[in-house]
Amino acid sequence: MQLPQAVEARNAGLPLDLAWVRSVQANGSAIERRARTLPGRRTVKKEFQAAWLCRAISCMDLTTLSGDDTEGRVRRLCAKARQPVRADLLAALGMEGLTVGAVCVYHEMITSAVAALQGSGIPVAAVSTGFPAGLSPLPLRVAEIEASVAAGATEIDIVISRRHVLAGNWRALYDEMRSFREACGDAHAKAILATGELGSLRNVSRASLVCMMAGADFIKTSTGKESVNATLPVTLVMLRAIRDYHAATGWRVGYKPAGGISKAKDALVYLAMVKEELGDRWLRPDLFRFGASSLLGDIERQLEHHVAGQYSAGWRHALG
């Protein structure tokens, strides 16, 4: 079961509004206090928890981004994307046909992923623009996006230049992201902010806003390669930037936390935060994704516990 994709217009962006960007602030202590309260106050149990975990699977970018990736590994990952949970468990849950939101790979593995997913409706996402550092020459990064789209990727996870954020050069960040969006064509552009390297929550908020102004379809926390990846305070800042942008423009922009989310209970917290800050419309794969690999195994264990009343060993839920 793949949830239907949106039919509403993509974020077209708008001219860079430096006054709006510079007016953005972030109260760090208040943000961290709010983030700390959520895990202890928001919980779902029994069949409701199982339903939320199935929703998390449907919003997952199943990912392999290792230097030793092979075509065989990608094919196995795609098989898991088609059948993320054992068929008997899905039948017991009434969730036959459940699939993940997308498969995310390096450019070299796009062709293999597209072939393995043919007929499934599962999109292929490719990391691009000199992932993970984003320090390649700009013409090469644009050419990489164009090559990935030509190879069949329908979503491009784009690394921004952190130096533009750290220097407060918002015009350079806007122009860069705009050129990336144009290179994507019909493919969705997911801007990776690498929030653990941006220095402050205020920078995270401002960078989120600038990327949305430049036409990003999603804003994403991390490459997964930084020492600090997705966190609840960063998520709160980015969700509120999305909310403010939607209120001002009417365009909905997606959100993707990536890196460090490996437990089912953590996925539930992120889903609860998205629901409270943005509403139910964002709890669908066209507007929310988990960048994850090991998360799926723990969710499958929790679903088996719900159905059978006991936990299975983690090795029984391998990705490929």
* AA identity, residue 47: E
The pLDDT tens digits of the residues spanning 241-275 come to 999 999 999 999 999 999 889 999 999 999 999 99
The pLDDT tens digits of the residues spanning 277-288 come to 999 999 999 999
Residue 265 designated active-site: no
The pLDDT tens digits of the residues spanning 209-243 come to 999 999 999 999 999 898 889 999 999 999 999 99
The yes-or-no verdict on residue 2 having pLDDT over 70 is no
Catalytic site residue from 61, 80, 157, 217:
157
pTM of the model: 0.93
pLDDT of res. 46: 87
> What is the rounded CA–CA span in Å between residue 201 and residue 191?
17
Q: What percent of the chain has pLDDT over 70?
A: 94
The pLDDT tens digits of the residues spanning 161-194 come to 999 999 999 999 999 999 999 999 999 999 999 9
Please identify which residue in the block is written with the tokens 């936990």. Answer: 311
- CB-based contacts of 224, cutoff 8 Å, min separation 6: 63, 65, 132, 258, 259, 260, 291
Q: How many C-beta atoms lie closer than 10 Å to residue 311's C-beta?
A: 11
User: Selecting from 3.30.1180.20, 1.10.760.10, 3.40.50.1000, 3.20.20.70, what CATH number does the domain 18-308 have?
Assistant: 3.20.20.70
The yes-or-no verdict on residue 312 having pLDDT over 80 is no
The mean pLDDT of 74-89, rounded to a whole number, is 95
Q: How many C-beta atoms lie closer than 10 Å to residue 16's C-beta?
A: 18
> What is the rounded CA–CA span in Å between residue 287 and residue 58?
12
Model confidence at 276, pLDDT cuts 50, 70, 90, reads very high
Catalytic site residue from 80, 220, 266, 286:
220
Q: What is the mean pLDDT of the chain?
A: 93
The pLDDT tens digits of the residues spanning 11-26 come to 999 999 999 999 999 9
Q: Point out the least confidently predicted range of 34-43, 61-70, 98-107.
A: 34-43
The yes-or-no verdict on residue 320 having pLDDT over 60 is no
Model confidence at 62, pLDDT cuts 50, 70, 90, reads very high
Catalytic site residue from 61, 190, 217, 256:
256
The pLDDT tens digits of the residues spanning 92-138 come to 999 999 999 999 999 999 999 999 999 999 999 999 999 999 999 99
Phi, psi of 89 (to 5 degrees): -70, -45
What are 160's two structure tokens? Answer: 């921004």
- Which alpha helices (DSSP H) does the chain contain, by range? 18-23, 28-41, 46-58, 71-82, 87-93, 110-116, 138-151, 162-166, 170-184, 201-213, 232-249, 264-278, 294-308
> What is the rounded CA–CA span in Å between residue 257 and residue 279?
17
Domain ranges of the chain: 18-308
Residue 157 designated active-site: yes
> What is the rounded CA–CA span in Å between residue 101 and residue 254?
13
Strand partners, 264: none
Count Cβ atoms within 10 A of the Cβ of residue 27 and give its class: 0-12 exposed, 13-18 middle, 19 or more buried: exposed
